[in-house]
């Protein structure tokens, strides 16, 4: 059984809560205290129906204060897969929330109200999905019951969205007509939507092929922590612990340590204390090297024949996540996986309109939820790949030196 | 399936190990909050794997309410020795004396919420800057929204409105003096994931997780063990039942589940069966409610 992380994107009335509630309820993954709440609400209804939106109900503090605390994570399991849903609220601070939730997702469900069709919100969500390179897109055309399950309505939305997808370069787009409220095409195939011959949503989620989402060709590794037991029997042991970001490493591989540029070979590989012949992404491993080289946290170990970019002048897309605006010349910490370096935002070239993708001039500072193209210089070089080619090694964050907040998502170009 | 493939438990394990290593690297004085339950035992197992062949580079900290199951305490001491970890125990009893706190009363006197005082004192005493906890996001609504690295002020408070965005697998652990970070490496695990992992890795658990005979009284549909902390009234009927515990907390407020499950396979089957009876039906039977109560009990600690 494997694991699929996905995010649901929809605006306030698209039925997102009902859809998530329906997935949890129909796949029989309701938590106990949620069932209690459901039972109460059902008792108050004469028709015995269940308010599925209750399953994703917020905290009491949120309801009382009318605030929304960004992303909630929800879990369900079927015999085929374990699922982790990042449920990002649809209104306040949407971009910030969606980026947080989407950064780990390998699939996005874009909800479209069948009565509204492709609207500004749909475009906005899709642009973020394309910026973040989410590998799989499901366009769930919801509320089909309110358009009399019309195939024409569905087809027209598919035509409209295909245009958006083409513009954004979104691949792997799947369209499913659903009614979250009535359960059509969620877990079971809808009997009413008989003109649709694709899979219902859950079946699609269970079967979508994610095996190729992890890059096994280009080997990338960054040192997180140096293990030096310094005991009698392990006196000279020096292991570099970290996550295999991508690719496969084998004992005897010729490797280069970056940014220093020193070459050596892998002498031993371990996973969970057990020696192994090879390690692969996304395993947490320990690498030992043949030569005694000075290596510390944040250094990269890559294969000599396939090296990433090494530079301290960075072209980036920044998604600004903080209330305090960004001005050119501001200094921050930049964190790329485990590597923390000082950085200055040298210049801001343009702002990207997340509704139209048009480039616009930046006036004043960069505000919360804005996406800009910028240039960053770091105090010491970064070892990375362009985000577009290699999401896992092309992403970073900016941290405010004084507040310690995470203020930006950085997509390295 | 390619041989370069991790199943869901291996992926969860890799993610947790990554988090443990980030804590060890980013903080000067981390600690693992050890409650004695299956979640913290699983965390110790993960930490051991994260730093092998070295030892776990932080102490196990137990905030002892004084109401623990003797089996759990015995297991705690054994486990610390087994993994060669430093064990720090601080007692709620001592905090009550020093601070002149009011001891909870009643038939089931819970010191659960008093733990917070002892915990904050312990953080101050050792200047811990990161406390690793075993809370999971599937436990309840608030947890579902909390970050893996959760910054706390000097009162240990979580401010849900000021959470840092947590992007990709990049963890920002920078804090000001006096603040500390609660880290939850098993955030993305569910109860069933934990049990399946315990089975897969053959992790030892205290005996009270498996069916055994115990003298209990029934209280509002729940089975509570008789102990030096819980004594029967004249109205109570003392029963001898075959039970196990689903969570391990204080003897005063942890209820037992009637069960014949003597090994991991049987426990997991019972849990799956409970979930099935939960599913699809809107009527909740007593057993399910009882389980929910137990699950909720855990909140106090963090």
- Could you tell me which residue, B112 or B3, shows the higher pLDDT? B3
pLDDT band at A11 (very low <50, low <70, confident <90, very high): confident
What CATH number does domain B8-193 carry, 3.40.50.170, 3.40.1390.10, 3.40.50.620, 3.40.50.12780?
3.40.50.620
Judged by a CB distance cut-off of 8 A, whether residue B238 touches chain A is no
CA distance B285 to chain A (A): 10
Task: Pick the residue from chain B with its C-alpha nearest to A95.
Answer: B165
B200 in A contact zone (CB under 8 Å):
no
State whether B283 and A39 contact (CB < 8 Å): yes
> Does any CB of chain A come closer than 8 Å to the CB of residue B170?
yes
Kindly state the percentage of chain B with pLDDT values over 90: 45
| A31, two tokens | 């938590």
The answer to whether the CB atoms of B22 and A338 lie below 8 A apart is yes
Please state which of the ranges A133-142, B115-124, B136-145 shows the lowest mean pLDDT. Answer: B136-145
What pLDDT, on a 0 to 100 scale, did the predictor assign at position A26?
77
Q: Note the pLDDT of residue A385.
A: 96
Query: In this predicted structure, what is the pLDDT of residue B278?
Result: 31
- In chain A the domains, ranked by start, together with CATH numbers, are 2-213 (3.40.50.300), 220-303 (2.40.30.10), 309-412 (2.40.30.10)
What's the pLDDT band for B186 if we cut at 50, 70, 90? very high
Q: Testing the interface with B: which of A43, A82, A393 to mutate, by most B Cβ within 10 A? A: A82
The distance of A25 to chain B (nearest Cα, Å) reads 7
In A, minimum Cα distance to B284 occurs at A36
CB pairs under 8 A between A and B: 183
- How close does chain A come to B94, measured CA to CA in Å? 34
> What pairing do the DSSP bridges indicate for beta strands B60-64 and B30-33?
parallel
Residue A252 burial (CB count, 10 A): 12
Residue B115 has pLDDT above 90, yes or no: no
Q: Tell me, what's the pLDDT at A165? A: 94
Identify which has the larger pLDDT, A199 or B278.
Answer: A199
Closest-approach residue (CA) in chain B for A132? B168
Per-residue pLDDT reduced to its tens digit, B149-180: 998 877 777 777 678 889 999 999 999 988 88
- Chain B residues touching A333 at Cβ < 8 A: 174
Choice among A37-41, A82-86, B248-252 with the minimum mean pLDDT: A37-41
Give just the sign of the alpha carbon dihedral A57, A60, A65, A69: negative
Does pLDDT of A398 surpass 80? Answer: yes
pLDDT tens-place string over residues B60-82: 999 988 888 889 999 999 999 99
The answer on pLDDT for B290 being more than 50 is no
Task: Determine the residue among A95, A227, A270, A340 to mutate to test chain B binding: the one whose Cβ has the most chain B Cβ atoms within 10 Å.
Answer: A227
In this predicted structure, which of A46-50, A336-340, B217-221 has the lowest mean pLDDT? Answer: A46-50
Per-residue pLDDT at A62 exceeds 70: no
| Count of C-beta atoms within a 10 Å radius of residue A42 | 16
Q: Is it the case that residue A84 has pLDDT exceeding 70?
A: yes
Looking at every residue in chain B, the average pLDDT score rounds to 83
Question: Is B145 close to A69, i.e. CB distance below 8 A?
Answer: yes
Closest residue by Cα to residue A240 from A298, A309, A280: A298
CB A7 within 8 A of CB A98: yes
Q: Can you give the pLDDT at residue A65?
A: 55
Kindly give the pairing relationship between strand A173-177 and strand A136-142.
Answer: parallel
Q: Are the Cβ atoms of A50 and B22 closer than 8 angstroms?
A: no
pLDDT for residue B251: 77
If 0-12 CB within 10 Å is exposed, 13-18 middle and 19+ buried, where does residue B103 land? exposed
Q: Which tokens belong to A312?
A: 């301290």
Contacts (Cβ under 8 Å, ≥6 apart) of B83: B44, B48, B55, B56
Q: Are A231 and A311 in contact (CB under 8 A)?
A: no
The whole-angstrom separation of Cα A273 and Cα A266 is 16
- Scored b (16 or more CB within 10 A) or e, B236-255 reads beeeebebbbbbbbbbbbbb
- Does residue A338 surpass a pLDDT of 80? yes
Q: Which chain B residue has the Cα nearest residue A334?
A: B172
A16 near A24, Cβ under 8 Å? no
Q: Residue B207 has what pLDDT?
A: 92
CB contact under 8 A, A82 and B17: no
Residue A117: pLDDT above 90? yes
Best CA proximity match to A195, nearest among A230, A228, A254, A155: A155
A124-128, A262-266, A281-285, B276-280: least confident range: B276-280
Predicted confidence (pLDDT) at residue A296 exceeds the cutoff of 50: yes
- Look at A285 and B178; give whichever has higher pLDDT: A285
Do the Cβ atoms of A7 and A101 come closer than 8 Å? yes
Contact indicator for A395, A406 with CB cutoff of 8 Å: no
Sorted by sequence, the CB contacts under 8 Å of residue B235 that are 6+ apart come out as none
Q: Which of chain B's residues have a Cβ under 8 Å away from the Cβ of A70?
A: 145, 163, 165
Virtual torsion, Cα A26, A29, A34, A35, nearest 10 deg:
60
Compute the average pLDDT of residues A291-295. Answer: 92
Among A270-284, A304-318, A340-354, B255-269, which is the least confidently predicted range?
B255-269
Amino acid A384: pLDDT: 97
Task: Give the residue with greater pLDDT, A377 vs B109.
Answer: A377
Contacts of A22 in chain B (CB under 8 A): none
Asked if residue A225 has pLDDT above 70, the reply is yes
CB B107 within 8 A of CB B233: yes
CB contact under 8 A, B279 and A28: yes
* Window from A341-355, B9-23, B109-123 with minimum mean pLDDT: B109-123
- Chain B closest-CA separation from residue A346 CA (Å): 23
Quick one: average pLDDT of B125-139?
Answer: 91
Between A3, A100, A404, which is nearest B176 by CB?
A404
The pLDDT value given to residue B126: 95
- 8 Å CB contact of A61 and B280: no
Q: Name the segment(s) of chain B with CATH classification 3.40.50.620.
A: 8-193
**Residues A307, A256 contacting (CB under 8 angstroms):** yes
- Average pLDDT of every residue of chain A: 89
CB A223 within 8 A of CB A192: no
Structure tokens given for A58: 């917020």
Residue B287 has pLDDT above 70, yes or no: no
Q: What does each C-alpha distance from B190 to A195, A210, A388 come to in angstroms? A: 38, 22, 33
Task: Kindly state the percentage of chain A with pLDDT values over 70.
Answer: 88
- Whether the per-residue pLDDT at A118 is higher than 90: the answer is yes
More confident residue, B156 or A249: A249
Other Cβ atoms closer than 10 A to A325: 14
pLDDT for residue A54: 63
Predicted confidence (pLDDT) at residue A66 exceeds the cutoff of 70: no
At A163-179, the pLDDT tens digits run 999 999 998 999 999 99
Who contacts B281 (Cβ-Cβ below 8 Å, separation ≥6)?
A: none
Which residues on A lie below 8 Å from B165 (Cβ)? 70, 96, 99-100, 321, 397, 406, 409
Residues of A in Cβ contact (< 8 Å) with B141: 57-59, 72
Reduced to 3 states (helix: H, G, I; strand: E, B; else coil), residue A331 is strand
B51–A283 C-beta distance less than 8 A: no
């Amino acid at each position: 059984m494997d694991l699929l992380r996905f995010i649901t994107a929809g605006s306030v009335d698209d039925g997102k809560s009902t859809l998530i509630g329906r997935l949890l309820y129909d796949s029989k993954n309701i938590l106990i205290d949620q069932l209690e709440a459901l039972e109460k609400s059902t008792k108050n209804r004469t028709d015995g129906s269940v308010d599925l939106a209750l399953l994703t109900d917020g905290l009491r503090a949120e309801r009382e204060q009318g605030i929304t605390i960004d992303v909630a994570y929800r879990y369900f399991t079927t015999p085929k897969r374990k699922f982790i849903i990042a449920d990002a609220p649809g209104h306040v601070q949407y971009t910030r929330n969606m980026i947080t939730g989407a950064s780990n997702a390998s699939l996005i469900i874009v909800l479209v109200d069948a009565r509204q069709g492709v609207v500004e919100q749909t475009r906005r969500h899709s642009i973020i999905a394309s910026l973040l390179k989410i590998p799989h897109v499901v366009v769930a055309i919801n509320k089909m019951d309110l358009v009399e399950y019309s195939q024409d309505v569905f087809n027209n939305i598919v035509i409209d969205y295909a245009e958006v997808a083409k513009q954004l370069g979104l691949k792997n787009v799947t369209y499913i007509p659903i009614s979250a409220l009535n359960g059509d095409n969620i877990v079971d195939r809808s009997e009413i939507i008989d003109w649709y011959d694709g899979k219902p949503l859950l079946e699609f989620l269970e079967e979508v092929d994610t095996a190729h989402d992890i890059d096994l060709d280009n080997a990338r590794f960054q040192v997180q922590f140096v293990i030096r037991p310094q005991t009698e029997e392990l006196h000279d042991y020096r292991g570099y612990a970290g996550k295999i970001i991508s690719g496969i490493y084998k004992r005897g591989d010729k490797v280069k340590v970056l940014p220093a540029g020193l070459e050596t070979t892998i002498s031993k590989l371990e996973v969970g204390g057990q020696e192994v012949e090879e390690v692969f992404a996304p395993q947490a491993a320990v690498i030992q090297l043949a030569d005694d080289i000075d290596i510390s946290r944040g250094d990269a170990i890559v294969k000599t024949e396939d090296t990433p970019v090494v530079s301290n002048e960075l072209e980036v897309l920044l998604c600004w996540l903080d209330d305090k605006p960004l001005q050119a010349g501001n200094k921050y910490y930049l964190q790329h996986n485990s590597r923390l370096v000082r950085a200055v935002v040298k210049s801001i070239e343009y702002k990207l309109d997340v509704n139209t993708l048009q480039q616009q001039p930046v006036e004043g500072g960069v505000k919360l939820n804005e996406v800009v193209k910028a240039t960053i210089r770091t105090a010491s070089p970064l070892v990375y790949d362009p985000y577009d080619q290699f999401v896992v090694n092309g992403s970073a964050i900016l941290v405010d030196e004084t507040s310690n907040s995470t203020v930006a998502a950085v997509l390295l170009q | 399936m390619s041989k370069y493939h991790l199943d869901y438990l291996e992926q969860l394990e890799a993610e947790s190990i990554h988090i443990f290593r980030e804590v060890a690297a980013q903080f000067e004085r981390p600690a693992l909050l050890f409650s004695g339950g299956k979640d913290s035992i699983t965390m110790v197992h993960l930490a051991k794997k994260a730093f092998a062949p070295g030892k776990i580079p932080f102490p196990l900290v137990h905030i002892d309410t004084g109401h623990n199951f003797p089996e759990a305490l015995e297991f705690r001491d054994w486990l610390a020795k087994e993994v060669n970890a430093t064990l720090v125990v601080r007692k709620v009893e001592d905090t009550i004396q020093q601070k002149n706190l009011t001891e909870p009363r009643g038939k089931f006197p819970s010191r659960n919420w008093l733990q917070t005082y002892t915990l904050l004192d312990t953080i101050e005493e050792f200047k811990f800057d990161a406390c690793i906890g075993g809370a999971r996001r599937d436990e309840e609504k608030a947890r579902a929204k909390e970050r893996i690295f959760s910054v706390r002020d000097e009162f240990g408070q979580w401010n849900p409105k000021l959470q840092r965005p947590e992007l990709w697998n990049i963890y920002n652990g920078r804090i000001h003096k006096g603040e500390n970070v609660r880290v939850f490496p098993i955030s993305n695990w569910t109860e069933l994931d934990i049990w399946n992992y315990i089975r897969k890795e053959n992790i030892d658990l205290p005996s009270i997780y498996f069916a055994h005979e115990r003298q209990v009284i029934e209280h509002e549909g729940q089975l509570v063990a008789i102990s030096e902390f819980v004594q029967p009234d004249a109205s109570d009927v003392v029963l001898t039942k075959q039970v196990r515990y689903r969570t391990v907390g204080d003897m005063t407020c942890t209820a037992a589940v009637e069960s014949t499950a003597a090994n991991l396979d049987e426990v997991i089957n019972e849990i799956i069966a409970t979930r099935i009876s939960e599913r699809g039906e809107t009527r909740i039977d007593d057993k399910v409610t009882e389980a929910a109560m137990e699950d909720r009990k855990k909140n106090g600690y963090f």
